[in-house]
Structure 1
C-alpha cells in the first residue's frame, strides 16, 4: 500500500511532499520526493471518549439538563438503553462505528454501559470492522474483567476505590469523569490516581497543579459540554499542564466525527492546529496504550488520505490548519486501517 501527496510526518506533523509505504500493516518507509498527487496524508484518528451505546437515541432529549440526559440510573439515556433490545443496540452501535471507520478513526475509548453484557454487545457490533474499540466496562468489576478496563461515572456517584484497585491489579485502564458540572468531584477523582480524566470543564488552580504533578492525561469533549450547558473546558490551560486528547462523547448529543471535534476545539481554544491534531491522534493513542497516531517508520500503518484538491480544501495554504479547521467527511479519499 502506497499513499502519495503532502504527508504530515512525525509527531509535529511536518508537511512534506512524498509517499508513505505500508507493508503488512506497518509503515516501512516515509519517502520525501516530488510526487504527482494532491492528497493530504495524515495519521488516522483516535477518539478518546465515546458512549457508542447512545446510538439508539440520536438527538433525543432536546432541552434537558445534563443530569436529566445522562445521570445514572434514571437519566433519559439509561431509560432508553433499558427499553431497547440487544439487537437494536448492536445494530445502532455498528452503524456509528461504520461511520467512524469511513471517516478515518482507527480506535475509540468507550465507556460501555450494561455490565458484562454491554461489553459483549459492543464486541459483536464491531465484528468484521477495522476500528479497534478500547472498551472500559462500567457498573461492576466483572464488566472491567470482560473489557479493557473500567470507566467510572464520577466521584459524586460513588467512591470507586474497590473498582480502581481491581483494575490496577488486572493491569488495565481506569478512566473517570471529573469536573464536568463543577469542580467538586475533581480532587476525589485525582485521589484515585486514574489513568486519565474526562471533561475537566471546571478545574481550579489547585487541580491544574495536581494534574501537572501527577501527569494524569485529560480527555476533553468541548462540543458535548457546550450542548449540555456545563460550559467549555479550558483547553489551553489543560494542555499547558498535561497531555490532552479529544473525544466526541455521547452519540445521542454529537456525531462521532473527529473532524467536527477538531474544528470546534481549535476555533474555541488558544491552541495551535498541530496541537489539536495531536489531541485527535497520538495523544489519544498514548492514553489507550496504542502505537498509532504518528506517521513514521515502524509505526502501525493506520492512515487517512484527504483530497487536497476538493472544492473544500483546494487552495489551502497550510495543510495542517486545513485538516483541523476545514476538512470533513466529504474530503476523505482513502482510509487505511
Structure 2
C-alpha cells in the first residue's frame, strides 16, 4: 500500500511531500517525491482517557456538580448505568465506537465501570469495529483476569493498595484519577506509583516535581474539566516535565472526538500544533504500550488520511496547524488500521 500527499512525518510531524509505503501493517518507508495528491497523511489518534459506558446518557445531568454527575456509587452516571440493560449499554457503546473510528481514532484507553461484566460488555461492543480498546477495569480485583489494567476512581474514594499490588504482580498497568476536584488526592495517588494519572487539574509545584522525578505520564481532559467547572490542567507545566496525552473523558459530557479535543487544547493553552498532535497520537500510544502515533519506518500503520482539498482545509498554509485547529470528521478520507 502507498499513500501519497503531505506526510506529517516523524516525532516533530514535519510536513513532507511524498509517499508512505506500508507492508503487512507496518510503515516501511517514507519517500520524498512530487505528488499531485492534496491528501494529508498523519498518525491516527489514540484517545488517552474515556468512559465509553456513559454513552447511554449523552448530555444528561445539566447543572449538576462533578460529584453529582460521576461520584460512585450514587452519581447520575452510576444510577443510569445500573438502570440500563446490558443490551442498551452495549449498543450505545458500539455507536460511540463507530463514531470514534470515523473520526480517526484507532485505539483508546478506557476506564470501565461494572467490574468483569462491564469489561465483557465493552469488548462485545468493540468486537466488530476496527478500533483497539485498552481496558482499565474497576471495582473488582478479579477484573484483572480480563482487563488490560486497573483504573482507579481516586484516592479519596478507597484504599487501592491491594489493587495496585495485584496489578503489579500480574505485570499490568495501574492508573488513577488525581487532582480533578482539588489537590488533596494527588499525593496519595502518586504514593501508589501509578503507571499514569488522569486530570491533575489542581497540581501544585510539589506534585509537578513528583511527576517529573518518577516519570509518571498524565492524561488530561480539558473539555471535560471545563464542562464540570473544576478548572483546567496546567498543560504547559506538565509538558515541561512528563508525557502528556489527550483524552475526551465521559461520553455523556463530551463527544469522543479528538479533533475537538485538539482544537480546544491548541486554542486554550500556550502549546504548539506539533505538541498538541503529539498529545493526541504518540503520547497516548506510549502510555498504552502501542507502537504507533508517529509516521516513520518500523511503526504500526495506524494512519489517518485527510482531504486537504476539502472546503474546510483547502488553502491551509500550515498543514499541522490545519489538522490540529481546523480539521474535523468531515475531512476524513480514510482511516488505516493494521
Following superposition, the deviation at residue 106 of structure 1 comes to 1.1
Structure 1 stretch displaced more, 139-148 or 324-333: 139-148
Match of 2:31 in 1: 31
What's the secondary structure of 1:313's corresponding residue? coil
C-alpha distance in structure 2 between counterparts of 1:174 and 1:255, whole Å: 26
Counterparts of 1:191-230 in structure 2, within 5 Å, are: 191-230=191-230
Match of 1:284 in 2: 284
C-alpha distance in structure 1 between counterparts of 2:332 and 2:43, whole Å: 13
Counterparts of 1:106-145 in structure 2, within 5 Å, are: 106-145=106-145
C-alpha distance in structure 1 between counterparts of 2:231 and 2:35, whole Å: 46
C-alpha distance in structure 2 between counterparts of 1:227 and 1:179, whole Å: 16
Match of 2:43 in 1: 43
Match of 1:274 in 2: 274
C-alpha distance in structure 2 between counterparts of 1:145 and 1:136, whole Å: 11
C-alpha distance in structure 2 between counterparts of 1:265 and 1:282, whole Å: 16
What's the secondary structure of 1:241's corresponding residue? coil
- Does residue 153 of structure 1 match 2:137? no
- Does residue 293 of structure 1 match 2:293? yes
Match of 1:12 in 2: 12
C-alpha distance in structure 1 between counterparts of 2:248 and 2:120, whole Å: 22
Match of 1:258 in 2: 258
Following superposition, the deviation at residue 24 of structure 1 comes to 1.3
C-alpha distance in structure 2 between counterparts of 1:220 and 1:134, whole Å: 17
C-alpha distance in structure 2 between counterparts of 1:123 and 1:324, whole Å: 30
C-alpha distance in structure 2 between counterparts of 1:249 and 1:134, whole Å: 14
C-alpha distance in structure 1 between counterparts of 2:272 and 2:24, whole Å: 34
What's the secondary structure of 1:12's corresponding residue? coil
- For residues 113-169 of structure 1, the C-alpha deviation after alignment (integer angstroms, 9 at most, x for no partner) is 000000000110011211000000000111122100000000000110000000011
What's the secondary structure of 2:314's corresponding residue? coil
C-alpha distance in structure 2 between counterparts of 1:167 and 1:118, whole Å: 18
Q: Which runs of 4+ in 1 moved over 4 A?
A: none
Structure 1 unmatched ranges of 5 or more: none
C-alpha distance in structure 2 between counterparts of 1:38 and 1:127, whole Å: 34
Match of 2:243 in 1: 243
Following superposition, the deviation at residue 22 of structure 1 comes to 1.2
Match of 2:187 in 1: 187
Match of 2:321 in 1: 321
C-alpha distance in structure 2 between counterparts of 1:300 and 1:18, whole Å: 19
- For residues 180-209 of structure 1, the C-alpha deviation after alignment (integer angstroms, 9 at most, x for no partner) is 000000000000000000000001111111
Structure 2 unmatched ranges of 5 or more: none
Following superposition, the deviation at residue 13 of structure 1 comes to 0.4
C-alpha distance in structure 1 between counterparts of 2:250 and 2:154, whole Å: 16
C-alpha distance in structure 2 between counterparts of 1:215 and 1:317, whole Å: 36
Q: CA RMSD in A?
A: 0.6
C-alpha distance in structure 2 between counterparts of 1:172 and 1:102, whole Å: 30
C-alpha distance in structure 2 between counterparts of 1:21 and 1:92, whole Å: 36
Match of 1:171 in 2: 171
Match of 1:52 in 2: 52
What's the secondary structure of 1:233's corresponding residue? coil
Query: What TM-score do you get using the length of structure 1 for normalisation?
Result: 0.99
Following superposition, the deviation at residue 309 of structure 1 comes to 1.1
- For residues 286-319 of structure 1, the C-alpha deviation after alignment (integer angstroms, 9 at most, x for no partner) is 0001001011111111100111111111111111
What's the secondary structure of 2:156's corresponding residue? helix
C-alpha distance in structure 1 between counterparts of 2:226 and 2:285, whole Å: 25
C-alpha distance in structure 2 between counterparts of 1:145 and 1:188, whole Å: 26
Following superposition, the deviation at residue 29 of structure 1 comes to 1.6
Count matched residues: 337
What's the secondary structure of 2:185's corresponding residue? helix
